[in-house]
Structure 1
Amino acid sequence: MKLSRRLREIQPFQVMALLAEARALEAAGRDIVHMEIGEPDFPTPEPVVRAARRAIEGGDVHYTPALGLPALRERIAGFYRRRYGVEVAPRRIVVTPGASGALLLALGALLETGDAVMMADPGYPCNRNFVRFLGAEPRAVEVGADTGYQLSAAL
């Protein structure tokens, strides 16, 4: 199968190899602090377990609407209203199963081929691949403890 040029130019996502190596060291008795992937290191909270059981027992096991459950989108809008004093219409809210999916959707909606995107460095390497995949160019902006590892207007 022939892969597209843009896919062939994407750098490998090495974190899974790093995770395998860390797990091997752990199995050999080494004490490892996992910082390679965003996998929780705690059990599923009991309220989530109860909600999942209710959904399964109630037969609520089908696909959700593509933009997310309407009631959840309304609750998110309410959260932004209370927390930040900002009105966000629920129709403008999209719920994704993770940050990577949300970022890829947002970048796909905003970027044109050849655009440049300022990205914090250090940062999650996969995000640079999203930008490259969409034909844009990631531009690393070094950040450190003095900025809380965040981009700022001063940078």
Structure 2
Amino acid sequence: MGIVRRTLDGMYTVSGVLAGLCLIAILCLIIIQMLARWTGEVFPGAPDYAGYAMAAASFLAFANALNKGSHIRVSIVLNAVGPRARLWLEIWCFAIGAATAWYVSYYSYRMLGFAIKFNDVSQGQDATPLWIPQSAMLVGMIILAIALTDNLLTLLTTGQHRIIRDVTDTQAE
């Protein structure tokens, strides 16, 4: 079980690092576009590329943010109920979250397939094949679905999820 845990944790960390690199790419694109404007040059497609990087950063960061406790959770409700009800409420939340994430992953996969099949390109000047930014979205969504399923299975087997608790969660205990 140790190698599986290390692999999953490594995947979540790599996903978070890739999201950070996408944010750095956005910064670089903005700086390059500013420099291009100051020098009278044109950098076509820069806003589109920044948008693709923002989407990639968002989706790639989901799983890492989940395990770091950065997602908004219903801590007030969880703290108001007893420990047994809290366990069942968390199981229900993780089950719904995992099912939804897998559902979105499936339809993201289908959307990617249609983009490849029909050679779908962006509407901007760059005419980027849409399967490229959609691939990052799909990868991030699958990693989030895995993270939610991982937390659900851990909760079912050990009674504790793997999310680092934030300050509001620990104050109630």
Q: TM-score, normalised by structure 1?
A: 0.30
Name the one with the larger strand percent.
1
Q: Which one has more relative contact order, counting CA pairs under 8 Å at least 6 apart? A: 2
Name the one with the larger helix percent.
2
